Chain A
Amino acid sequence: MKRLLEVRDVSRHFGGNAAVDHVSLDVFDGEAVGLIGSNGAGKTTLFRMIAGELALSGGRIEFDATSLPHRPDQRARLGIARTFQIVQLFGGLSVLDHLLVALQAHEGRQGPMRDVLWKGSSTPEEEQRCLETLRLCGLSDVADAPATALGLGERRAVELARALVVRPRLLLADEPSSGLDAHEAARLARVIALARRETGLAVLLVEHDLHMVEAIAERVIAMDAGRVIAQGTFDAVLHDESVIASWLGRSA
């Protein structure tokens, strides 16, 4: 298998506080990796660095064996898609429009020049592709509803659909199931599995829900206080003493 994402010795300090401390990890093509760890372990900070939102204090990140461009939008167009711990939707846009924005940006068919030259309306192919993704994510019924008025479960699904519509190569999902009921969480897991099967997408998943990690991830990496403390199969990591102490607790 080809190595898709390579994180080497990456650190990030805030003042004197090391949020991420010499972390190295790999994600291979098509693989699903779970990233778990206590609150404040540095998972989101790592995501922000991979996505280009935050600069590194040290180390390097490579994607597809080349170093990454700087800005988040450049990385997104390379195929790194992301969902957020606190949902980041576009107030004022319909669900379908969320996907169109992402798709048109990805294809480079966005901007004042196109609009002025009368090429601003979305093409049937674009709409077709968005609708397909919406169907995949179970959102067909609400395609025209304003996204921010939906319930949390649907909002998270919209975020996922927005990430998936461009057929990314790597999906960074930050607690996609938090706030969802068991039903919705299971559906989300199914959507991710389907997308992986169809497009060979690799997933890096941050989760606090044991069942989600088990359902999606083939391999698990555990962090605490900015460092990687364990990695391996789901069972192996969950039986690791330090993981039990810092993350899982007695309920195992």
Chain B
Amino acid sequence: MAGALSVSALVFQDVHAQYGPYKALNGLTASIAEGESVAILGRNGAGKSTLARVASGLVPVASGHLSVLGRSVARTAPHVLARMGVVHLPEGVGLFSGLTIEENLVLRVGGASRSARRRRLAMALGGLNDELRSRRRTKAGLLSGGQQRLVAVTAALAAEPRLLLCDEPALGLSPVAGDEVYAALGRARDLGCALVVIETRLDRIEHLCSRAIVLEKGVAVYDATSSDQGGILDALTGSRGVS
């Protein structure tokens, strides 16, 4: 495990990114080791989603250096990264509303070989609750907002990611469903997947993440790691009040 940890899942060095004239990342520097689970915190508009989008190739790096799973990437297309094992659960719904639940799962879990595809699909279907499983041939766009989110999370987890970028995974979920999603993320972490979780609610990340990076105006302003003395929340609140 120690050898594996020496490889970094994600390294940002002075990364800038922008949407048209709007600058979203302003020289972000951070690095995340393989198997680590990190929470990204910060106010709305601090660049959290952009961080995930840059890491999955959706938004190009304007300047700076980025490497993902040991490979240096600047303008690599998202599908190349996806095939390397980077799974991005985007902000919002994250499903094709015109496809059925099952088709969405087939597409999102991917898989290089037929057996891998079958294994992942079975895992995804197993991860759905009974109601959704029985409705797997309905169009995803007809589900309620929270149901769609559940399907998207399930698909992302079943894709056997090496690096999982989750943008507010429990958004719009009921408390009990949110807890289940976080439990499933914990299981993925235990299997060795590097996790980057964007979350606005601190109580959610308490048990999942051992480290938190706080963004502000597109740069990392604070980096806290849990220690033997206290969890991540203590580390965060001890030195600096986080809203």
**Stretch of A27-35, A37-45, A61-69, A119-127 on the interface side:** A37-45
Of B22, B43, B145, B147, which is within 8 A of A181 by CB? Answer: B43
In the complex, which residue of chain A has the Cβ closest to the Cβ of B243?
A183
Of B168, B176, B202, which is within 8 A of A246 by CB? Answer: B176
B171 touches A (CB below 8 Å): yes
CB distance from B237 to the nearest CB of A (A): 13
Inter-chain contacts of A45 with B (CB < 8 A) = 144
Across the interface, do B131 and A40 meet the contact criterion of CB distance under 8 Å?
Answer: yes
Across the interface, do B168 and A179 meet the contact criterion of CB distance under 8 Å?
Answer: yes
Across the interface, do B147 and A179 meet the contact criterion of CB distance under 8 Å?
Answer: no
Across the interface, do A38 and B43 meet the contact criterion of CB distance under 8 Å?
Answer: no
**Stretch of A96-104, A146-154, A195-203 on the interface side:** A146-154
Of B44, B149, B177, B202, which is within 8 A of A184 by CB? Answer: B44
Q: Name 15 A/B residue pairs within 8 A (Cβ), A-sorted.
A: A38-B174, A38-B176, A45-B144, A85-B145, A151-B44, A153-B44, A153-B45, A175-B172, A179-B44, A181-B200, A248-B176, A249-B174, A249-B175, A249-B176, A250-B176
Of B135, B144, B172, B202, which is within 8 A of A178 by CB? Answer: B172
Across the interface, do A247 and B150 meet the contact criterion of CB distance under 8 Å?
Answer: no
Chain B contacts with A in 33-77, Cβ cutoff 8 A: 43-45
Of the four ranges (under 10, 10 to 19, 20 to 34, 35 or more), the interface on chain A belongs to 35 or more
Across the interface, do A251 and B179 meet the contact criterion of CB distance under 8 Å?
Answer: yes
Across the interface, do A39 and B44 meet the contact criterion of CB distance under 8 Å?
Answer: no
Across the interface, do B175 and A208 meet the contact criterion of CB distance under 8 Å?
Answer: yes
B79 touches A (CB below 8 Å): no
Question: Given that A39-B173, A247-B175 are contacting pairs, would A182 and B146 also be in contact in the complex, using a CB cutoff of 8 Å?
Answer: no
- The answer for the CA separation of A61 and B25 in the assembled complex, in Å, is 49
Interface flags for A184-224 (1: CB within 8 Å of B; 0: not) read 10000000000000000000000010100000000000000
Across the interface, do B142 and A14 meet the contact criterion of CB distance under 8 Å?
Answer: yes
B118 touches A (CB below 8 Å): no
- The answer for the CA separation of A162 and B172 in the assembled complex, in Å, is 22
B107 touches A (CB below 8 Å): no
Of A86, A154, A182, A247, which is within 8 A of B145 by CB? Answer: A86
Across the interface, do B150 and A39 meet the contact criterion of CB distance under 8 Å?
Answer: yes
Across the interface, do A39 and B144 meet the contact criterion of CB distance under 8 Å?
Answer: yes
Inter-chain contacts of A248 with B (CB < 8 A) = 174-176
